[in-house]
Structure 1
Amino acid sequence: MPNKEKSSTVPTKGIYLLPNLLTTAGLFSGFFAVVSSMNGHFEHAAIAIFVAMIFDGLDGRVARMTNTQSEFGAEYDSMADMVSFGIAPGLVAYNWALDDMGKFGWLAAFIFVSCAALRLARFNTQVGVADKRFFQGLASPAAAGVIASIVWVGTEYQLNGHDYGLIMGIITIVTGLLMVSNFRYNSFKEVDWKGKVNFVVVLLIVLVFVIVAASPAELLCAIFVLYMASGPVTTIKTVKKLKLEHVVGDDQDAEFKTDSKPKVDKESD
């Protein structure tokens, strides 16, 4: 006689709502940035990219907190990141400063978009094996933050982006290439957010919030540009002798002196 209780143990198919809802919100923000830049609303476009960064940071954390991780969610998040941090920043930069530069303009934007795609593909293949302390290459949200913050500052000071097309094109290309480089960027995943801090640290945090509220565009631009420059500095300080493999190429050929004791990812045990 067949066991009727077996049907109750079969897992039901479906998609977790909350984390994928946050991913959709990030995707919408990236799409909104593209549309806004096409209509000439570059400040709105830049802000939308930063909003997408917030949702991108929330969806993964919410999925882990609620134990709703899934392969679908991971793939969907990658597709959304490609739109929000690849296509959107490239088109925002193109519409703001590069559309009068001819082939150089659209090629610069394409280099950024293609490098973002390569960066995301490489990251997905290294999940679970990469050193959690560092990102290999500039993370795509940080690269998008560089482009968005520069455009935001430009619109704040009413600068005509076309007057700075060559400079913006070079920045766009360099930012894109940094994403596919082997430069090591601190991931800040070792920071103990649950630990105790000195009272002065709390005062400094309050001061930071005041500065952000007063001049968000300028402060975000400074933060992301400095972080972009930190990769080469960190790499040069980490290795004994800088080689080509430390800059670009197969990451397995790049040997760093901090890799002698690789950190164990406890979450994968």
Structure 2
Amino acid sequence: MDFASYYLWSQFEPALGWEDTHCQMQRGWRSTLGAKPLESISSPLAATIWQKVGKLAQQGVSEFHRDPLLLKHPRGSERVADRLYLYYELAAVRDRVLPILRQYQAQPWLLEQEILLLNRGDEPLPPPIEIRVGDYSFELFAAFDCVVREVVPMAESTTAQRDRIHIIDFKTGLADFDRRQADVYLLAGSYLYPDCEIVASFYNLETLTSSELITATPARLAQIAQKLAQIAQLHQQQLQEYRRDPDCFDRLFPPHPGTHCRACSFNYRCGYAMGC
């Protein structure tokens, strides 16, 4: 079945402000080399520092909650760092992740939450969700970092309460939040928790900052599903055309060469990157 994900959406259309560095040919390389719906293909070099920091920070939070006694241990952060083999990483990675672990041990904000899901970030892809838009169906892949159940008041003037599902995506570094990622999570959450109110937010483990709560009306969810359906269809059409005629690769996935090619995972095989 055709598929879609936030990652695929971001490959089709860049986030605001990243238009100059976006290359459709990179998407073509990833697609034709068999990238998974939620994963990028690494270059022969090691993963970038920011990727490693994000993954290790998320794994560290997960380790604290798998063994909550580490939160009370005087050297709990160092114990978690040992479990992550952090001291074998580059100093540029280690020196950023260890303060994140110490900050979280000092302020374990998830400790009082009812955690329904806490992903380590290195686990297998979750089962896809079948989304139907009219007569067309596609599979939606959405890997949540964290899902908690919250109890919130029905209104300020009453004591009545209601349950709410809160999907949280972890971030590190200074990257801006992409609203489209929350949109995809809200659509997936509406299928996984159909009887619940769903909200989403981003939380930066490094800067300890959180986005506003993001919601979507049923009409907005329908628009998101329609957009993802268009992307899933176009993606499969392009792949099928490429398989029929591999010589049309450059036309299907036009290049956008520039200095950003130096950091591309595929510059070792892309002829357009040679002079950049």
TM-score with structure 1 setting the length: 0.23
TM-score with structure 2 setting the length: 0.23
Larger proportion of helix: 1
Q: Which structure ranks higher in relative contact order (CA pairs < 8 Å, sequence separation ≥ 6)? A: 2
